[in-house]
Amino acid sequence: MLLVIDVGNTNITYGVYSGKKLLTTFRMTTKNLRTSDEYGIDIAELIEHNSLKMSDVSDVIISSVVPKVMYSLTSSIVKYFGITPIIVGPGIKTGIKVVTENPKQIGADRIVDCAGAYYKYGGPALVLDFGTATTYDLLREDGAFAAGVTAPGIRTSARALWEDAAKLPEIEIIKPNTILAQETISSMQAGLVYGQIGQTEYIVEHMKKESGYIDAKVIATGGMGRIIAEATDCIDIYDADLTLEGLRVIFEKQK
């Protein structure tokens, strides 16, 4: 079995594959720093809890945008699984050629998303990830990464509201029934969610127009992506496991 690990700013997401079949997924928070033993025990327990055997894991691949967790995390894989994990980075075959001005500035998470999108759905495509940041990435028909837009994620914007405005409360991020809010909580929800919908529609429209890829597929992923995908026609596909699929694709290319 293959264990794929996506280290994001908010969560670490794990997936276990048997061939091309995703058997299970689980998550832990990124901000709770752990020792290698804590990572190893937690991962092992989560795998066993999902009715799988830790001993059946033969390979591990990791993509990370949080360098400070990598030493403990990779050490846990070596110690508890006896495997040296593949780390997505320079020198790794991804199948995605980056043709921007400075390819090294493109995060591993974005390349992984694009690999998942291109090899599952083809190109041209716009790949949207609604995470700590909201990213919009343009893939050409040949799978090349041509351009990207980065904006604050919904939760990041929400946190700025309730941390920097003394009288605004911490709220659940959901789409209210109407944009015509009449009290504080629904007014914040409307601003955050409808604002993200409007941003998404505008950026997608103009990325298509300026690139000439008017018929590009729009593929979304990320924790808040489902809310947005259900509220706009500009997103064609929502795929919650796109990043994990990208890691599986990249692992296969190392062979």
- Which residues are identified as catalytic? 109
Please name which of 182, 160, 179 lies closest in space to residue 171, comparing C-alpha atoms: 160
Q: Where are the beta strands (DSSP E) in 68-216?
A: 86-87, 125-130, 133-139, 145-152
> Distance between CA atoms of 43 and 12, rounded to whole angstroms?
11
Calpha distance 61→250 (Å, rounded)? 9
Torsion angle in degrees (nearest 10) through CA of 104, 106, 108, 112: -130
CB 225 within 8 A of CB 128: yes
Q: What is the C-alpha to C-alpha distance for residues 189 and 158, in angstroms, rounded to an integer?
A: 9
Q: Which of 52, 38, 41, 47 has the alpha carbon at shortest distance from 14?
A: 47
CB 40 within 8 A of CB 34: no
Longest dimension (CA), the chain: 58
At position 55, the amino acid (one-letter code) is S
